[in-house]
Amino acid sequence: MPQKDKPSLNFILLNKMHPIWVIISYSCIIICGPKMCGLWFLSILYGLFFLESLFCSIPAITGILLIGIEVVNPKKQSKKRRYLGLVFMYVGLISYFLREDASYNFNTFREIEPLIGIFCFIITSILFYIATLQKLKK
């Protein structure tokens, strides 16, 4: 007796979605202030050395490391590590804009280049999430 096809996310096969794309799109987000702009990754590194940004940098670096483990050792894939990595990346980015002195960086939401970077990260992370779901189905 033939089996009925279950609805799934296989209309776009993303099994080969490499984690490096999520890390690159996350690191290359542009953060703008009134006088200058910079890469999000540099803000994360800056935060490791200064207390005012430390609580934003720790989740961001943790997320990059959790997903980066698969880049270094592709045979150690874990759905929990992938999900936690994405969650930590989002927590780091959101906490950066919700901190007390975040109004300095609100130009990020007024200029097109930073918005494109944030949009690319969101799309890439959604595709990475779908790819993770597809790997679990097999």
If one compares 9 and 48, the residue with the highest pLDDT of the two is 48
In a domain, 29, yes or no: no
Structural domain harbouring 56: 41-137
In a domain, 103, yes or no: yes
Average pLDDT, the chain: 82
At 123, is the pLDDT very low, low, confident or very high (cuts 50, 70, 90)?
A: very high
Domain count, the chain: 1
In a domain, 10, yes or no: no
Closest among 75, 45, 50 to 60, alpha carbons compared: 45
Q: What pLDDT is stored for residue 12 in this prediction?
A: 58
Closest among 24, 26, 27, 31 to 99, alpha carbons compared: 31
In a domain, 105, yes or no: yes
pTM of the model: 0.81
In a domain, 25, yes or no: no
pLDDT digits (tens, 9 = 90+) for 37-85: 888 888 888 888 887 778 889 999 999 999 999 888 877 778 889 899 9
For residue 60, with 0-12 CB atoms within 10 Å meaning exposed, 13-18 middle and 19 or more buried, which class applies?
buried
In a domain, 74, yes or no: yes
In a domain, 123, yes or no: yes
Cα gap 12→49, rounded to integer Å: 42
